[in-house]
Structure 1
Amino acid sequence: MTFYLEIVAVLSGIISVWFAKKENILLYPIGTVSVLIWIYLCWIGEIYSQAVINLFFLVMNIYGWYNWSRKDNSEMNKVQIKFSSIKEKILYIIVAALLTLLIYSALSNIEILNFDWKFVLMESFITALNFIAMWLMAWKRVENWVLWIIGDIFCVPLFIFKEYYLSVAQFFIFIIIAFMGYFEWKKKALKN
Structure 2
Amino acid sequence: MQLQEIFQQLIAGFKNATTVEYIAVITGIVSVWFSRLENIWVYPIGLVSTVSYVFLSFKYHLFGEATVNLYYTAMSIYGWILWAKRDQQAHHVVKISFSSRKELKDQFVFFGVFYVVFYSALRFLQNSFYPGTIPFGDALATATAFTGMLLMARKKVESWYWWLATNFASVPLYFIKGLTFTSVFYIVLFIMAIFGLIEWKKRAKENHA
Sort the TM-score into its range (normalised by shorter chain): over 0.9
Q: Secondary structure at the match of 1:65?
A: helix
- In structure 2, the partner of 1:81 is 96
Query: % of aligned pairs identical?
Result: 34
- In structure 1, the partner of 2:11 is none
- In structure 1, the partner of 2:25 is 10
1:18-40 residue CA offsets vs partner (Å, 9 max, x unmatched): 00001010010000000111000
The CA deviation at 1:112 is: 6.0
For the structure 1 residues 115 and 139, does the alpha-carbon distance in structure 2 shift closer, same or farther, using more than 3 Å as the test? farther
The amino acid of 1:35's aligned partner reads: T
Answering whether residue 202 of structure 2 is matched by residue 191 of structure 1, we say no
Instruction: Provide the C-alpha distance between the structure 2 equivalents of 1:52 and 1:127, rounded to a whole number of angstroms.
Output: 8
TM-score (norm 1): 0.95
Q: Secondary structure at the match of 2:18?
A: helix
Q: How does 1:1-192 map to 2 (within 5 A)?
A: 3-110=18-125, 113-117=129-133, 119-192=134-207
For the structure 1 residues 24 and 131, does the alpha-carbon distance in structure 2 shift closer, same or farther, using more than 3 Å as the test? same
Tell me if structure 1 keeps the 8 A contact 2:20–2:52: yes
1:102-141 residue CA offsets vs partner (Å, 9 max, x unmatched): 1112233347642424x21221121111111000000000
Count of aligned positions? 191
Tell me if structure 2 keeps the 8 A contact 1:104–1:120: yes
The CA deviation at 1:88 is: 1.1
Instruction: Provide the C-alpha distance between the structure 1 equivalents of 2:128 and 2:47, rounded to a whole number of angstroms.
Output: 28
Greater Rg by CA:
2
CA RMSD across the alignment: 1.4
Tell me if structure 2 keeps the 8 A contact 1:69–1:77: yes
The CA deviation at 1:99 is: 1.2
1:28-80 residue CA offsets vs partner (Å, 9 max, x unmatched): 00000001110000100110110010000000111111110011122111100
Instruction: Provide the C-alpha distance between the structure 1 equivalents of 2:137 and 2:186, rounded to a whole number of angstroms.
Output: 16
After TM superposition, which residue ranges in structure 1, 4 or more long, deviate above 6 angstroms? none
Instruction: Provide the C-alpha distance between the structure 2 equivalents of 1:112 and 1:21, rounded to a whole number of angstroms.
Output: 41
Structure 2: tracts of 5 or more residues without a match = 1-15
